[in-house]
């Protein structure tokens, strides 16, 4: 049975800037290039036969393409004893609307979307119990802009265990309505 989630891919330019933050922080398990994403809905393990139902439900999303700005560093947990280090996004009202619509369609199809308090973020590092402080990293990069993130589709990913952490594979892509024009607005 596959372990799946819906999410957004992060542009390579943003990935490069986020990966450049990696350094010697006690207890940090830094995410690799292929692990950087923004989760919309985590479903966990689902029966193989229900993957088509997931795709059908997600295919009902009607949302325009939009653009986010990846900006700021934050932690889940105190900076002195973090559980996760993550980058936030701004301009996220369209993202929240997309997530709510997707969660509603999944719920109607009988799936538990697993995001009661949606906090859009891109995890950069996870920490063990005896983690070191990331306060200096937050002081230096807390308000930093990591670049634009055009959102023209969302993705159903499968997560499988790998030697260096989870490996994410694309099951299906779901385009949003219309491309963004060169100014980052919806092109009709």
The arithmetic mean of pLDDT across residues 122-130, rounded, is 90
Q: How far apart are CA 144 and CA 138, in angstroms?
A: 9
Strand 66-76 relative to strand 145-151, pairing: antiparallel
- For the ranges 6-15, 83-92, 179-188, the lowest mean pLDDT is seen at 179-188
Percent of the chain at pLDDT > 90 equals: 77
pLDDT confidence tier of residue 188, bands split at 50, 70 and 90: very low
Q: How far apart are CA 71 and CA 73, in angstroms?
A: 7
Cβ 68 vs Cβ 151: under 8 Å = yes
Q: In terms of pTM, does the model score above 0.85?
A: yes
pLDDT confidence tier of residue 10, bands split at 50, 70 and 90: very high
Most confidently modeled range among 94-108, 109-123, 130-144: 94-108
Q: Which fold has domain 3-175?
A: Cyclic Phosphodiesterase; Chain: A, (3.90.1140)
Q: Give the model's pLDDT for residue 24.
A: 83
Rg (CA), the chain: 17
pLDDT tens digit sequence for 30-61: 999 999 999 999 999 999 999 999 999 999 99
Q: Give the model's pLDDT for residue 164.
A: 80
The arithmetic mean of pLDDT across residues 81-86, rounded, is 93
Output the CA–CA distances (angstroms, integers) from residue 1 to 45, 60, 64, 99, in the order listed.
6, 24, 32, 24
Question: Is the pLDDT assigned to residue 186 strictly greater than 50?
Answer: no
CA torsion sign for 95, 98, 101, 102 is: negative
The arithmetic mean of pLDDT across residues 120-128, rounded, is 94
**Paired tokens of 149:** 């993130």
3-state secondary structure string across the chain: CCEEEEEEECCHHHHHHHHCCCCCCCCEEECCHHHCEEEEEEEEECCHHHHHHHHHHHCCCCCECEEEEEEEEEEECCCCCCCEEEEEEECCHHHHHHHHHHHHHHHHCCCCCCCCCCCCCEEEEEECCCCCCCHHHHHHHCCCEEEEEEECEEEEEEEEEECCEEEEEEEEEEECECCECCCCCECC
pLDDT confidence tier of residue 91, bands split at 50, 70 and 90: confident
Catalytically annotated residues: 37, 121
Q: Give the model's pLDDT for residue 116.
A: 66
């Amino acid at each position: 049975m596959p372990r799946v989630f819906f999410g957004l891919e992060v542009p390579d330019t943003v990935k490069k800037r986020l990966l450049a933050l990696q350094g010697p922080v006690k207890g940090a398990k830094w995410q690799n290039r292929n692990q950087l994403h923004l989760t919309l809905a985590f479903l966990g393990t689902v029966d193989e036969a229900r993957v088509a139902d997931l795709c059908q439900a997600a295919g009902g999303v009607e949302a325009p393409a939009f653009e986010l700005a990846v900006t700021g560093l934050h932690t889940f947990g105190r900076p002195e004893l973090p559980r996760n280090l993550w980058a936030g996004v701004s301009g996220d009202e369209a993202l929240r609307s997309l997530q709510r619509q997707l969660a509603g369609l999944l719920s109607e199809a009988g799936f538990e979307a697993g995001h009661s308090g949606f906090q859009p973020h891109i995890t950069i590092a996870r920490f063990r119990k005896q983690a070191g402080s990331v306060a200096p990293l937050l002081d230096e990069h807390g308000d930093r802009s990591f670049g634009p993130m055009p959102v023209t589709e969302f993705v159903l990913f499968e997560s499988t265990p790998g030697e260096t952490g989870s490996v994410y594979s694309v099951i299906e892509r779901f385009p949003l309505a219309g491309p963004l024009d060169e100014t980052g607005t919806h092109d009709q």
